[in-house]
Chains A and B, each alone.
Chain A
Amino acid sequence: MCIHLMFSPSNCIHFNALTKCDVHGLEEGPADTSVLTRDQGLGLYRSMQTIRCMEQHVDLLYRQKLILGPCHLYIGQEACAVGIEASIDKADHLITSYRSHGFSFTRGVSVREILAEITGRRGGVSKGRGGPMHMYAPNFYGGNGIVGSQVPLGAGVALACQYRGNDQICVAVYGDGAANQGQLFEAYNMAALWKLPIIFVCENNRYAKWTPMQRVSACTDLYKRADYIPGLRVDGMDVLCVREASKFAKDHCQSGKGPIILELQTYRFHRHGTADRHPSYRNEAEVQEYSNKDPISRLAGQVIHANMTSAQEFEEIDMEIRKEVEEASQFAITDQEPPLHDLCNYVYHNSPPLKIRGIHRWATLVSIGNTL
């Protein structure tokens, strides 16, 4: 791919000839140009690199047996979370699957709180109760373990936005495996019927755990799956493409046209989960091919080539990130676990505290359920 650049005096670059999106149900898709300022470029880089570094630390923590619970790393897919966040507002809403660490970060959870949650400590964003999958933030509804369950939820959030007339949208993220869940089609139908302001984002990393997408999907054009909902297929390894497509999608929703599907073609460099032991359902050549499309080095290359910064500045950023992540990691393994009495809290909303039965009739714990 050849990048055509136009230099403008305001220290920003116009990238022409981004990979064009495949379009379904629309006259045209997003333009194949992107305007990027130096600050934006560095910001995108920083976000992606932070996620990358953080996830690699998580892998190390897992090997040290310091992590309970199933853990799914986002390595390779950083452009998706970062590109989407760059085009929506903090006031917009987002919900995703169990591969949630990237979005947790972009939606505002600190690295420290993410890592401490993964190791199950009280300093974690969910107070150590959720573990690697279940992280939350304002307007970020998690982190969902059951495949596809988050999509009807996302439609509901979009309905609430529409009802309240606040011009906000919801982004519901799912994977190629979830694309075959019945509940998605129920959500598509309702969203289209009521013109809900929702962007359905399918992070197609080509594998539902160990099974290649084409073996279990009669239609592999996941952006066309809801025939009556327009869709775009986007290069998910290019953060600028994701950003432009997301902006386009947000405009589409906010102009009252209803839902839209974005299929982001991406790849996870890691296994499905850190506990995975399947020897080889993907071949090395394929993994290498996609490694060569690493979104972080791609953006860095584009920004340096455009003379917006130098390799040295990137190295300095990397060192800052590394320091931040290492400190967060230390916190995550030294912080205290949540207190035992927290086991029974937040089952219900209740006031005064409720007795929770369990173990045997002589052992009850008291549950509090009020939001603080």
Chain B
Amino acid sequence: ITIMAAAARFFVRGAHPKLSFSGVCASAQRSLGAGLLKLSPSCASRTKTHKRHAAHFTFQPDPVPTQYGPTQKMNLFQSVTSALDNTLASDPTAVIFGEDVAFGGVFRCTVGLRDKYGKDRVFNTPLCEQGIVGFGIGVAVAGATAIAEIQFADYIYPAFDQIVNEAAKYRYRSGNMFDCGNLTIRAPWGCVGHGSLYHSQSPEAFFAHCPGLKIVIPRGPVQAKGLLLSCISDKNPCIFFEPKILYRAAVEQVPVDAYTIPLSQAEVLQEGSDVTLVAWGTQIHVMKEVANMAQEKLGVSCEVIDLQTILPWDIDTVCKSVAKTGRLLISHEAPVTGGFAAEISSTVQEECFLNLEAPISRVCGYDTPFPHIFEPFYIPDKWKCLEAIKKMINY
């Protein structure tokens, strides 16, 4: 019925009163709709690949936190809204800006904030990422808390110069006279199942190469709110990547009041003795499943670590774990060459060389642009990770 209404709206009578074009494509749609539903038999059997597929992971919620006060059921975007709400309430200098944020944002992260706090504090910018970040740096340097939103991490590159050359180096080059620690940049990140080349990227590795920045990626709503609040209060420019596939899929009991989770502290989610699995963001949920599969199928005990802060990363926790287990597997969606797993791998082999029982394994995306139709084959899913564990155990 919606389609018909839409069709009726699209097709109006032409200039000549005797004409009626409303019949034209409206009738086309009626017969087409019926035709399309009769898929060919060969199609029906291949539903897995050519329909938008189910997620490659199952979200596993954290236990309910008890130390931060009363909690409420929230998904990831609601937990982000909650963090921003707490910030705008407690910090009168805080402003939120980006493309389409006034309506609530394309992922609903800023819903209600403009109505609550005013249009001078939550406002839309034009479509100009370089301008948004440059402007944000200026706001931050002048003493206000700037929370800039880049609509998708894939679009952050026009701002790369501002982030790397200005934001990251402000404190260093001015001998601590100026800094833009009040700046936090938020961007949706990672694969989403149907994002294709420009709505799926994970660019953390590009920024990890830049001292002066902090990069944080949460695995769920509780972490997201705590880490985002830490980023906002942290006196360094922070980039907060939000796994977009988790915006609705991840639901947890999240504390209503403000709380912080420390940056640069990796979290050991599950202890184990045979293999250390390191990941961040969405991939953590894949790893948790891999750990269960390894235990059941291979009798291998895995220690799962969520890195959380990519830069500066918690070298001690990871190395301590590898010293115990002797094997390390790092996994991320971004392409393997030059991905952040490379940095972890290199550092760990320096620190734990004699502890290693097998070469460090990186299970990552292929060295290609993020593909369109090939996405299910591209992402490092649980089977590929399990395969890598098998090879490490049998090394």
Bound together, the chains give a CA A322 to CA B18 distance in angstroms of 23
Is A183 on the interface with B (CB-CB < 8 A)? yes
Stretch at the interface among A26-34, A35-43, A105-113, A204-212: A204-212
- In the bound complex, how far is the Cα of B394 from the Cα of A322, in angstroms? 60
B196 to A, closest residue via Cβ: A69
Which chain B positions have C-beta within 8 A of A318? 24-25, 28
Segment 324-368 of A: residues with Cβ below 8 Å from B: 325-326, 329-330, 333-334, 337-338, 340, 342-344, 347, 356-363, 365, 367
Is there contact, CB below 8 Å, between A298 and B28?
no
Tell me the bound Cα distance from A233 to B155 in angstroms: 29
Known: A120-B50, A337-B50. A329 touches B126 (CB 8 A): no
Of the 9-residue stretches A9-17, A192-200, A286-294, which lies at the interface with chain B?
A286-294
Which residues on B sit within 8 Å (CB–CB) of A215? 124
Binds B, one of A124-132, A241-249, A258-266: A124-132
Q: Is the CB of A304 within 8 A of B19?
A: yes
Find the residue from A53, A60, A69 having the highest chain B CB count within 10 A.
A69
> Which residues of chain B are near A178, meaning CB under 8 Å?
127
**Segment 11-44 of B: residues with Cβ below 8 Å from A:** 11-16, 18-19, 21, 24-25, 28-29, 31-33, 35-37, 39-40, 42-43
Any A CB within 8 A of the CB of B281: no
Stretch touching chain B among A86-94, A145-153, A162-170, A221-229: A145-153
B12 with A60: CB separation less than 8 A: no
Q: Which residue of A lies closest to B392 (CB)?
A: A360
Residue B282 at the A interface, CB < 8 A?
no
Chain B min CB distance to A197 (Å):
27
Q: Complex: how many Å from CA A61 to CA B106?
A: 23
A120 to B43, CA, bound (A): 13
Near A by CB (< 8 A), chain B positions 325-374 give 335-337, 359, 361-369, 371-374
A305 close to chain B: CB less than 8 A: yes
Q: Are B9 and A269 in contact (CB under 8 A)?
A: yes
Question: Do B19 and A147 have beta carbons less than 8 Å apart?
Answer: no
Answer yes or no: B165 CB below 8 A from chain A CBs: no
Residues of B within 8 A of A131 (CB): 196-197, 372-373
Given A53-B25, A302-B15, A365 contacting B196 (CB threshold 8 A):
no
- Cβ of B297 within 8 Å of any chain A Cβ, yes or no, is no
**Quick check: A216 and B103 within 8 Å, CB to CB?**
no
Q: Does B130 sit at the interface, judged by CB under 8 A?
A: yes
Flag whether A296 is at the interface (Cβ < 8 A): yes
Q: A278-B103, A301-B15 are in contact. Are A334 and B43 (CB under 8 A)?
A: yes
Contact of A182 among B32, B128, B364 (CB under 8 A): B128
Q: B29 to A56, Cβ gap below 8 A?
A: yes
- Any A CB within 8 A of the CB of B209: no
Docked Cα-Cα span, A147 to B99, in Å, equals: 12
B387 is an interface residue with CB less than 8 A from chain A? yes
Residues of B within 8 A of A338 (CB): 373-374
Please tell me which stretch of B251-259, B285-293, B315-323, B377-385 contacts chain A, meaning at least 4 of its Cβ atoms lie within 8 angstroms of it: B377-385
Give Cα distance in the complex from A356 to B378, angstroms.
12
> Quick check: B372 and A61 within 8 Å, CB to CB?
no
Please state if A301 and B158 are interface contacts (CB–CB under 8 Å). Answer: no
The smallest beta-carbon distance between B105 and chain A, in angstroms, is 10
Which residues of A, 63-117, contact B by the 8 Å Cβ criterion? Answer: 63-70, 75-76
Minimal Cβ-Cβ distance residue in B for A284: B9
* Closest A residue to B378 using CB positions: A343
Please indicate the chain A residues that have their CB under 8 angstroms from the CB of B199 in the complex: 69-70
Q: Which of A119, A209, A211, A305 contacts B16 (CB 8 A)?
A: A305
What are 10 A-B contacts with C-beta separation under 8 Å? A57-B32, A210-B106, A211-B102, A216-B125, A318-B28, A333-B40, A342-B374, A358-B336, A360-B391, A361-B361
